[in-house]
Amino acid sequence: MYKAGIKNKMAVLALSLFSSCVLAAYPEQPITLVVPFPAGSGTDAVGRIFASEMSSRLGQPVIVENKPGANATIAAQQVAKSKPDGYTILISTNTPLSAAPWLMKNVSYDVVKDFTPVARGGNLPFILIANASKPYQTVKDLVNYAKANPGKLSYASGNSTGIVAGATLGNSADIDILHVPYKGTPQAITDLIGGQVDFMFTDLASGIPFVKSNKVKALAVSTAKPSALLPDLPSMEAAGINNFDINSWNGFLGPAGLPDEVVSTLNKTINEIVDNKEVKQRLANLGFDAFSGTQQEFADFVKQQYVLWGDLIKAAGIEQK
């Protein structure tokens, strides 16, 4: 009995040590970073910087996989159903987790139950841009033009932030505008430049290059307060639209059941990336405000944003029941 007990204890100890070694070795193979938007989008550009930095720190390739479509729910669903081993990670925005469940009737995942929040990545501020040839130069001009021409102005969207921001503007300013949805931001901006649509809300990373080249004009940032990244551009509130404060968040999640050790490794890595001054500046050049925090802070944030965006979408009158 005594010998058998010793053997059992040794077996348990060996198994424990083996498990610890396996977990400590993470990652042992390439990691797939799933981007829910097409190549050329703001999230894609930011995701590729994170992927490169994660790869150098973790010692394994981090492969970017673009899975756009259906308000980013295709990518989110893929990650939610993947094996919880840390080798399939979603770089998410508010689109699939905060907004899509309210904008769509059938979303096949539960925002809270089907994911493991890992770390916040930062914010991707949005700006209101218009076709360069249009007569309006300010938000007030655009609103006045829309009121004088009801139903004739159209706005594009390449993600849920664009959808909700456009609908909120229409509701807040009491103007009749037409929504034209696109699969992604790059396609929407192409048609905006070509004059097929009149204006749109887009992330800084996607929009600023076209603003600088005078292919489109920027009218405001989508927040209540001006952005430190674009201090000369007025906020929506300063432009005359009260209680308008819409921003796009960014963060990393895995499927439910991700081991604590994997979460800890990834959270530590992402915090190291956003704390690096050089990397932070590279991201800022894209219009991305990089910052992170603890895993619990991000988990709480995801829950709060789900409620907040639900309220925004209901107020704009675009909830799908």
Q: What is the pLDDT of residues 287-312, one digit of tens each?
A: 898 999 999 999 999 999 999 999 99
Boundaries of domain holding 148: 126-221
* Domain end among 204, 221, 238: 221
User: Six-digit token pair at 250?
Assistant: 């960014």
Q: pLDDT digit string (tens) for 145-172?
A: 999 999 999 999 999 999 999 999 999 9
The verdict on 167 and 188 lying in the same domain is: yes
CATH number for the domain spanning 156: value is 3.40.190.10
- 10 falls within a domain: no
Q: pLDDT digit string (tens) for 60-79?
A: 999 999 999 999 999 999 99
Q: Is the pLDDT of residue 31 over 70?
A: yes
The verdict on 142 and 201 lying in the same domain is: yes
The verdict on 207 and 291 lying in the same domain is: no
- CB neighbours (10 Å) of residue 148? 9
Q: Is the pLDDT of residue 129 over 80?
A: yes
The verdict on 40 and 88 lying in the same domain is: yes
- 216 falls within a domain: yes
Confidence of residue 141 (pLDDT cuts 50, 70, 90): very high
Tell me, what's the pLDDT at 1? Answer: 47
Tell me, what's the pLDDT at 24? Answer: 53
The verdict on 33 and 97 lying in the same domain is: yes
The verdict on 217 and 131 lying in the same domain is: yes
Q: What percent of the chain has pLDDT over 70?
A: 93
Structural domain tally of the chain?
2
- 66 falls within a domain: yes
When pLDDT is averaged across residues 113-122 and rounded to a whole number, the result is: 98
- 230 falls within a domain: no
The verdict on 253 and 119 lying in the same domain is: yes
* Domain end among 173, 202, 221: 221
When pLDDT is averaged across residues 128-148 and rounded to a whole number, the result is: 96
3-state per-residue secondary structure call for the chain: CHHHHHHHHHHHHHHHHHHHHHHHCCCCCCEEEEECCCCCCHHHHHHHHHHHHHHHHHCCCEEEEECCCCCCHHHHHHHHCCCCCCCEEEEEEHHHHHHHHHHCCCCCCCCCCCEEEEEEEEEECEEEEEECCCCCCCHHHHHHHHHHCCCCEEEEECCHHHHHHHHHHHHHHCCCEEEEECCCHHHHHHHHHHCCCCEEEEEHHHHHHHHHCCCEEEEEECCCCCECCECCCCECCCCCCCCCCCCEEEEEEEECCCCHHHHHHHHHHHHHHHHCHHHHHHHHHCCCEECCCCHHHHHHHHHHHHHHHHHHHHHHCCCCC
The verdict on 117 and 32 lying in the same domain is: yes
Full-model pTM: 0.82
- 74 falls within a domain: yes
- 59 falls within a domain: yes
CATH number for the domain spanning 77: value is 3.40.190.150
Q: pLDDT digit string (tens) for 222-239?
A: 988 888 778 889 999 999
Residue in the block written with tokens 């894209």: 286
Give CA–CA dist 199/166, Å, rounded: 9
Q: Per the omega criterion (within 30 degrees of 0), is the bond before 125 cis?
A: no
- 206 falls within a domain: yes
The verdict on 35 and 114 lying in the same domain is: yes
Tell me, what's the pLDDT at 18? Answer: 44
The verdict on 154 and 204 lying in the same domain is: yes
Confidence of residue 2 (pLDDT cuts 50, 70, 90): very low
* Spatial CA neighbour of 184 closest among 313, 67, 34: 67
The verdict on 86 and 33 lying in the same domain is: yes
Pairing state between β 199-203 and 248-255: unpaired
On the 0-12 / 13-18 / 19+ scale of CB atoms within 10 A, 23 is middle
The verdict on 144 and 115 lying in the same domain is: no
